[in-house]
Structure 1
């Protein structure tokens, strides 16, 4: 529980958008000293020693005694538990952010591993608490909650903890799994990260980082896109045995653990963590897959015609459109666009966002060794979040800034709930980020009077939405098929590639033909390694925001902005049904997902209309 989640932009799970060029500005970099001054900061060592002493004391005083405690005494134990967990979260956050800043620095890797090992060892003394709480009878816990207002404040956290009650193992097994994590999944994660960070991709005469090479896939020159695509294929093809081993090992590891915990299927544990029912996820996935023909298939057929092609290759998917404005957008202009959009919706929302620009909380410039893509890291409530970007000055980079700033603002507003209650399930964590994007896009679109540029903006937004919804559900389908197939035996790189090519063909449609070397492109998507079955959360968030924004535009809900800020402040204390109820929305309604998908379809309808002066 001491490892906060980094929340990223779905556009960056496949390629990092932008030209790969520089804006020529001095771009801001983060200063992590609000966490710790350095890896040898005496405060870090003192914090860990204090956490260890407090964890040992808590175990000695409370283990085996929770059932007999009064509600007030139990609340006090949970408060002490939270304080220790926050110290561990702070230390591991610092190590993770240093590692993300440069994974090629061996000292950063060593320090990150050391912090994880130390935090895991200290956390072993705290493990008794959650295990014992889940063993309490419902009637016993309900009585304690009624009798103690202090414990009642923890009711939402206890509710979410007890979701995992049917899947809890014996104390000895739970402790073993906890302590072996640092030599299990997290070690494979580190191997993946360090391998990708150290890789070089040849594109023409250049040797580029993976991130820079992927950026070339959106270059206006088709020959550059093709060279980049072939370079990426060659680089990952050369390492495909290693990536296949990582994938096979983690999938088998997950199967073993899921069987022990009695999860009905591979995605169930993620759904429990997201506090969403398997059936709700199934409804989302089915709705999106049924919509492939009217969404991605239809759009990409139009794009092929705009590009003057009968069929596109995979390296054409993110090609700029003929009418697209490909000028470099300075960082200061990007900040201004996003701030204005946030401020027009809610000055309070914008003022929270402004803190990230006034302080060194964002790391913006691309550089060797830095994590690709973008993410927001909440760290701990007593400090503040940090954002990581790779800014190349393109319009979609502006949208990435709007997305990550939404996460950051959400994390700041939820911080008052405290360390244990501020964390939001992934499905709802994407609400603020995608809503921030929508605010920014609508502001730019509404200000554009030229019909040709307006259509280019609209097409760019459709591509982003397809990447967020269609692409991520295709990734989810890939994971599901891969994990199901892995249960029958280890998969070869060729078998994994066949699954990948199948879902790409199905989701993107007949406008594409895929060269065989595209079959290795699954290998660099980090969510398959770091957080299996995470990706549908982006589609969940996008469809949810489309419906939510529709309510906002309609004016049907009084004081919408205040209710929206309350939604963000709630953190993890409320479930999706409770959070959406003030807006008249219900994610369990089968029609809910169609509302969100209809927004994308409506944009495509508009793009189908001829525009004078636009490319045919």
Structure 2
């Protein structure tokens, strides 16, 4: 078992004088790395895994429903204890990825738990050998029936299952792939960038791309390009190795495409993803191309440079938003939707469930990690006071609310597929944006808010689909042999002009900007989930706007379902279906409509 937090690639930051920023209190997991409870749980886990294998290996096909249910409960308990240990080790590590002691603890825990859980590999292998009629009969039992969606997802892997011996080998080898992920994390966190004579980390440097002063933005972009270029061989090695490892596993499993495993894990049909991808790519001209041409004119530029992409509009305020104001803004938006939503979010601020400050060695970006169902989620931010940071807070808090509500499903069913994991987060952003827009009194303020939301949606939809296309090209090309840094750079640039449009010039060095995106290393093909979530939420919000009666109850029911239902079943109460190509056009039309409104505001 490994910790895989859901890093958000678009997390942004910037600012000063932010107030009292919260930090994590991890004692709800363990009091510290030397806590006796940690050793107790490790000892219990080792023995529990052995007993589980002794009691059930070779016997699953003969279990009656009562025996099968007892086995499920025991497996969930093992997952909960292993998850608690890895959550504690992982969250401490992400607070300071440059601390050797934290790195060692995470590595040691991963190796121990991988070793302890190796005897459990038989569990899914034997399950997939149960005949279809016997499998169906098991889940006729009322108590077992609720677990069927989780086991159906396991059964979906049946055609790609290897021998028991090979599956155990791959399980043990998982720590090798994890080591390459840690190399990536530690390299990124340890990079230093000199901007206008000041040495800073990657988070502050990326923030420089959103500063009002154009020379600061350019200096930040060139510093990023220079440092990425100087380290490009390391990043190329990580990506080559990870892509090759995936290619080998996919080939042995007989998976037809590099994306197949992700689609299966997401419980989404490949044709749905391709319909989403095609709809977004087809909409590039009326979305990103049209918006950036507007922005170019607003900024009085002949050509947009890459450091202008996320620049504030000329009429934007550079006011720093303190932590208390950010908290109030998001909580008011949540409460206006439903007080219950704010009640669920409140403990995150009061009980040390958020780590907000930018500190040396801290992982960049943002995520919400659910830990285990009998504890609570933790949210990581790098908050520096820009409007986009407020949206990042709204986004991650939405993840947290979703994870709290889904926890009632238990370890096996609480976790949602990635395509649905972004639902509450993006909806939380939309609620916060709509409340801020409703409170805007001046046309310039409304224009800035609308433009900011359009940019966020372009980053969430257009940019992430461009990332997806880059990954598809990368993994396809890697199957033909080792890729040089120049090869990967060329693949990156092949999607940039197409997605961003003709308003842009691309500086020398921008071809290396693929290097810092964590999803490519941690969770290949994750990125389309952002576009999926944004399209889904746009359709949901349109439904809320047009037919608000009873919406909140259906919405909370959807979040409580966690991973217990397919996306079609979750959307059915709202009259929506992601398998309908028109579904994606509906979501994209919301973005296009906002651009229409911005065009109408031109002097």
Would the TM-score normalized by the shorter structure come out above 0.5?
A: yes
Q: Indicate yes or no: 2:603 matched with 1:609.
A: no
Q: Indicate yes or no: 2:94 matched with 1:100.
A: yes
Q: Indicate yes or no: 2:20 matched with 1:18.
A: no
Q: Indicate yes or no: 2:358 matched with 1:366.
A: yes
> How many Å separate the matches in 2 of 1:364 and 1:112?
22
Residue 580 of structure 1, aligned match among 571, 574, 582: 571
Residue 78 of structure 2, aligned match among 84, 93, 101: 84
> How many Å separate the matches in 2 of 1:137 and 1:69?
13
> Retained in 2: the 8 A contact 1:5–1:378?
no
The DSSP-based 3-state class of the residue aligned with 2:449 is: helix
> Retained in 1: the 8 A contact 2:13–2:382?
no
Q: Kindly state the Cα deviation for residue 260 of structure 1 after the two structures are TM-superposed.
A: 1.0
TM-score normalised by length of structure 2: 0.99
The DSSP-based 3-state class of the residue aligned with 1:25 is: coil
> How many Å separate the matches in 1 of 2:486 and 2:150?
44
> How many Å separate the matches in 2 of 1:508 and 1:87?
46
Q: How does 1:9-88 map to 2 (within 5 A)?
A: 9-12=8-11, 17-19=12-14, 21-88=15-82
Deviations 1:355-400 (A, max 9, x none): 1112110001111100111100000011000000011111110000
Instruction: Give the aligned partner of residue 157 of structure 1.
Output: 150
> How many Å separate the matches in 2 of 1:163 and 1:24?
48
Segments of structure 2 that go 5 or more residues without pairing to the other structure are: none
Q: Kindly state the Cα deviation for residue 143 of structure 1 after the two structures are TM-superposed.
A: 1.6
Residue 591 of structure 1, aligned match among 569, 582, 597: 582
Segments of structure 1 that go 5 or more residues without pairing to the other structure are: none
Which has the higher mean CA deviation after the structures are superposed, 245-254 or 532-541?
Answer: 245-254
Q: How does 1:358-437 map to 2 (within 5 A)?
A: 358-437=350-429
> How many Å separate the matches in 1 of 2:221 and 2:139?
58
Deviations 1:182-240 (A, max 9, x none): 02x11100010111111111112011101111111111111111111111111111110
The DSSP-based 3-state class of the residue aligned with 2:244 is: helix
Q: How does 1:99-498 map to 2 (within 5 A)?
A: 99-146=93-140, 148-183=141-176, 185-498=177-490
> How many Å separate the matches in 1 of 2:162 and 2:121?
12
> How many Å separate the matches in 2 of 1:610 and 1:384?
45
Deviations 1:258-282 (A, max 9, x none): 1111111111110110000111000
TM-score normalised by length of structure 1: 0.97
Q: Kindly state the Cα deviation for residue 519 of structure 1 after the two structures are TM-superposed.
A: 0.7
The DSSP-based 3-state class of the residue aligned with 1:202 is: strand
The DSSP-based 3-state class of the residue aligned with 2:413 is: helix
Over the residues paired in the alignment, what is the CA RMSD in angstroms? Answer: 1.1
Q: Kindly state the Cα deviation for residue 439 of structure 1 after the two structures are TM-superposed.
A: 0.4
CA spacing shift, 1:154–1:24, aligned 2, 3 Å:
closer
> Retained in 1: the 8 A contact 2:418–2:526?
yes
> How many residues were matched structurally?
603
Deviations 1:497-550 (A, max 9, x none): 111111111100000010121111000111101000000000000010000000
The DSSP-based 3-state class of the residue aligned with 1:476 is: helix
> How many Å separate the matches in 1 of 2:7 and 2:457?
15
The DSSP-based 3-state class of the residue aligned with 2:194 is: strand
Q: Kindly state the Cα deviation for residue 7 of structure 1 after the two structures are TM-superposed.
A: 2.4
> How many Å separate the matches in 2 of 1:545 and 1:505?
27
> Retained in 2: the 8 A contact 1:9–1:375?
yes
Q: Kindly state the Cα deviation for residue 598 of structure 1 after the two structures are TM-superposed.
A: 0.3
Which has the higher mean CA deviation after the structures are superposed, 456-465 or 260-269?
Answer: 260-269
Deviations 1:155-184 (A, max 9, x none): 12111211111111111000000011102x
> Retained in 2: the 8 A contact 1:8–1:404?
no
Deviations 1:124-152 (A, max 9, x none): 12211111111111101112222x33322
Instruction: Give the aligned partner of residue 567 of structure 1.
Output: 558
> How many Å separate the matches in 1 of 2:601 and 2:353?
44
> How many Å separate the matches in 1 of 2:174 and 2:9?
27
Q: Kindly state the Cα deviation for residue 246 of structure 1 after the two structures are TM-superposed.
A: 0.8
> How many Å separate the matches in 2 of 1:610 and 1:233?
36
Deviations 1:46-99 (A, max 9, x none): 001101111101111110001111111011011101101110011011111011
Q: Kindly state the Cα deviation for residue 8 of structure 1 after the two structures are TM-superposed.
A: 3.6
